[in-house]
């Protein structure tokens, strides 16, 4: 059975996405629009950095201008024997 390490990080979206590009409804569902040239490259770089360190994105959730991201990584000894 696979064993995982988990971590979280919080991204301040106001620093990479203009607030007017985020629209949320009363249920908490949010849409981000028109990101080309407005922080998308920076956001992609943050995701790539975690991926290069062998962290897999599980979920991101928007709340109050912040993005909570949950990551998982296979425990070290399993990587050797499972081949991952």
Distance CA 18, CA 34 (A): 10
- Three-state SS string across 32-68, please? ECCCCCCCHHHHHHHHHHHHHCCCEEEEEEEECCEEE
- Residue pair 71/56 in contact by the 8 Å Cβ criterion: yes
Angle (nearest 5°) at CA 25 between 23 and 26: 150
- With a cut of 50, say whether residue 80 has pLDDT above it: no
Give this prediction's pTM.
Answer: 0.66
Taking residues 9-29, what's their average pLDDT? 80
Angle, CA 38 vertex, CA 32 and CA 40 arms, to 5°: 70
The confidence score (pLDDT) of residue 46 equals 84
Return the CATH fold of 4-82: Gtp Cyclohydrolase I Feedback Regulatory Protein; Chain: K (3.30.1410)
Q: For the chain, what are the domain ranges?
A: 4-82
pLDDT, tens only, 41-77: 777 888 899 999 999 999 988 877 788 999 999 987 5
Mean pLDDT of the chain: 80
**Residues 8-21, mean pLDDT to the nearest whole number:** 80
């Amino acid at each position: 059975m696979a064993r995982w390490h988990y971590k979280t990080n919080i991204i301040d979206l106001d620093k990479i996405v203009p607030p007017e590009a985020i629209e949320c409804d009363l249920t908490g569902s949010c849409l981000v629009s028109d990101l080309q040239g407005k922080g998308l490259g920076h956001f992609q770089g943050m995701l790539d950095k975690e991926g290069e360190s062998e962290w897999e994105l599980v979920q991101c959730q928007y709340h109050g201008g912040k993005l909570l991201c949950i990551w998982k990584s296979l425990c070290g000894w399993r990587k050797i024997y499972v081949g991952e």
